Amino acid sequence: MVKANLPEGTRVPCHVGVIMDGNGRWAKKRGLPRKFGHREGAKTFREITRHAKRLGISYITYYAFSTENWKRPQDEVDAIMELFEKYLDEVRDFIEENIRVRFIGDRSKLSESLQRKMASVEEDSKNFDSMTLVLAINYGGRDEIAHSCRVLAGKVRRGELEPDDIDTELIERNLYTEEIPPVDLVIRPSGEQRLSNFMIWQAAYAEFYYTNILWPDFKGSDLEAAVLDYSERNRRFGGI
């Protein structure tokens, strides 16, 4: 078991978002098909989740599949979906560790069996409180905001809400993240420095941490480095 090595006084972010990127390049570097990179990335996901719990992170959200990732070749999409089925069986192990599991994204485009597994993991872990693990599958920040607007528009049409009552708080309450707090730190490995439609609302005041390490090579010590970097930052939220 890896020990957490954070110095006394480190400010640990409450909610960390991780854009799991670089799986394809990891495989390519080894002359392997891209799906091997996704398989390796799934191992990293398990390791980092356990490490995040040891560090005292309360919420960790992983970007696993975006609303734009359907553009990839069908065989890659199929391989990723197959991995999710496996992931979910393994995510069950987290339940034994008192970790609550939640999913965000548009589930309607996922297979029925995946949707069933997602609902049952959420139900079985809903009362756990050591940490919340959030998986973003078929997730897009823009899609999420549009979804919130549709819910509110329905309420207006039914006469339950006045257009003037719509404020940022109400939009936020109808996002997929509902009761999940805003993200404090977004980590993106693989060298890309962009959000790619990840939590665009919730990351409005997030700190960003980029590293060239590819996701399958990302270690607990890299998570600690990101947390330490975050701890040094001066967050002002528009104040002084």
- Indicate which residues carry an active-site annotation: 21, 69
Question: Of the two residues 12 and 37, which places its CB atom closer to ligand IPE in the complex?
Answer: 37
Residue 67 CB, nearest approach to ligand IPE (Å): 9
Residue 35 CB, nearest approach to ligand IPE (Å): 9
x/- track of binding to Mg ion for residues 4-23 (CB under 5 A): -----------------x--
Residue 196 CB, nearest approach to ligand IPE (Å): 4
If binding is defined by CB under 5 A, does position 63 make contact with Mg ion?
no
Question: Strand 59-66 to strand 131-139: parallel, antiparallel, or no bridges (unpaired)?
Answer: parallel
Asked if residues 64 and 20 have their Cβ atoms less than 8 Å apart, the reply is yes
If binding is defined by CB under 6 A, does position 190 make contact with ligand IPE?
yes
Q: Which does 64 bind (CB under 5 to 8 A by kind): ligand IPE, Mg ion, none?
A: ligand IPE
Asked if residues 4 and 54 have their Cβ atoms less than 8 Å apart, the reply is yes
Residue 170 CB, nearest approach to ligand IPE (Å): 28
If binding is defined by CB under 6 A, does position 69 make contact with ligand IPE?
yes
Asked if residues 12 and 54 have their Cβ atoms less than 8 Å apart, the reply is no
Q: How many Å apart are CA 64 and CA 49, to the nearest integer?
A: 14
CA distances for 81 relative to 111, 138, 221, angstroms: 9, 10, 29
Total site size for ligand IPE, rule CB under 6 A: 17
Asked if residues 17 and 61 have their Cβ atoms less than 8 Å apart, the reply is yes
| Contacting residue, 55, 80, 183, 223, with ligand IPE by CB under 6 A | 80
Total site size for Mg ion, rule CB under 5 A: 1
If binding is defined by CB under 6 A, does position 64 make contact with ligand IPE?
yes
- DSSP labels, 185-232: EEEE-TT--S-TTSSTTTTTT-EEEE-SS-GGG--HHHHHHHHHHHHT
Q: Which residues are CB-neighbours of 180 under 8 A, at least 6 positions away?
A: 15, 59, 61, 102, 104, 132, 134, 202
Residues forming contacts to Mg ion in the complex (CB under 5 A) are 21
Give contact residues for ligand IPE (rule: CB under 6 A).
Answer: 19-25, 63-66, 69, 80, 190, 192, 194, 196
